Copies of this chain bind each other. A is one copy, B any other.
Amino acid sequence: MTQPAHGTHTLETAMRRALDLAAQGPAHGPNPRVGCVLLTPDGRAVAEGYHRGAGTPHAEAAALDAARAAGVDPRGTTAVVTLEPCAHHGRTGPCADALIGAGVAAVHVSVPDPHPVATGGAARLRAAGIEVTVGTLAADGEELLRPWLHAVRTGRPWVTLKLATSLDGRVAAADGTSRWITGDAARAHAHTVRARVDAIAVGSGTVAADDPALTARTPEGALAGHQPLRVVLGTRPVPDGARLHGPGGPLLHLPTRDLDAALRELGEREVRHLLVEGGPTVATALLAADAVDELHAYVAPVLLGAGAGAVADLGVTTVGDAARFTTRSVTRLGDDVLLVARRRAPSAECPDRPATQPATQPAQEEI
């Protein structure tokens, strides 16, 4: 790897800022969140930019535009960018060409671009005589782009399974009532997650039983600015009067029992992050197929003793074969707790990158 022209400290500080900028972009949408900072040869940040979503300038272009708007000539600057600049013509021109055209002297990247169409930017820059390094704060860069990277690498969305249970693992009481096991703070948090994802899925049995709206709402009850695609999985029809036909994101019914095919279909539609909200049949099928990348388990200090469980038979008979996840965070939400956990790595070699491995089992359970 080429040594960066700037010291490691300067470079990491700039990359940290670029990551913060990237995080200001929308988490949903087909495009990755990217941030860019331009440094002068003596290490001063003179311009910055980030991608604000499909159809808007890429981060590198935004930073170059910002430099010119401020009367700064980007020639000879160093671009510090969270994702390898793209090399393809999409809705905007290739960022690699923009950087070459602007005369930047060096480009430092956090994460290489795995996208089969966009990749190749580093090679293109190097061919133009520009110094390129890859891997600064790579773990942070990967984390920021986790769902997007997973989707681009595997062709299937990153699957977050939401569970909202009592301490004894139940999602409803014996009579089927489930409102509300968890409290206001947990529900409000779940809505902020809905507003970050591309799609929400439930099984067609849950549609029949609960008539969910699957909208992302503000704490005041208003529709959030972004509404995810609403996906119904399974063969039961969506009733004409269902709330899914009401205000909210577009509705997509995938009347299949082939979970793997459904996920590939969503991947082809550029759904990067899929939130699955149940019910137990879909949750069980996903878990049995090892297709859950992240769990969001909202647990309430409530005991029911009877009623539907969060998951049904997973084929686990002994505790050593349990579906085990690795905890990422634990957050108290009022009386409830949110445990966020990731799928364990199939290989001990990369314990912090469980999501980058494709599922090893076919996901063809009934849903």
Contact = CB atoms under 8 A, between A and B. Distances in A.
B284 A319 contact: no
A337 to B, nearest CB: 5
A320 interface: yes
A332 B322 contact: no
Nearest to A305: B314
Q: How many copies does the complex hold?
A: 2
Given A301-B326, A305-B287, A326-B301, A178 B319 contact: yes
Interface in A278-321: 284, 287, 295, 297, 299-307, 309-321
Contacts of A316: 173-174, 303-307
Contacts of A326: 301, 335
Nearest to A284: B305
Contact of A310 (B167, B178, B181, B331): B167
Nearest to A335: B327
A285 to B, nearest CB: 11
Contact of A341 (B177, B301, B312, B323): B301
A326 B331 CA distance: 16
Contacts of A334: 327
A60 interface: no
A311 B305 contact: yes
A175 B327 contact: no
Nearest to A292: B303
A173 B318 contact: yes
A160 interface: no
A322 B181 contact: yes
Interface in A160-184: 163, 165-170, 172-175, 177-181
Contacts of A174: 316-318
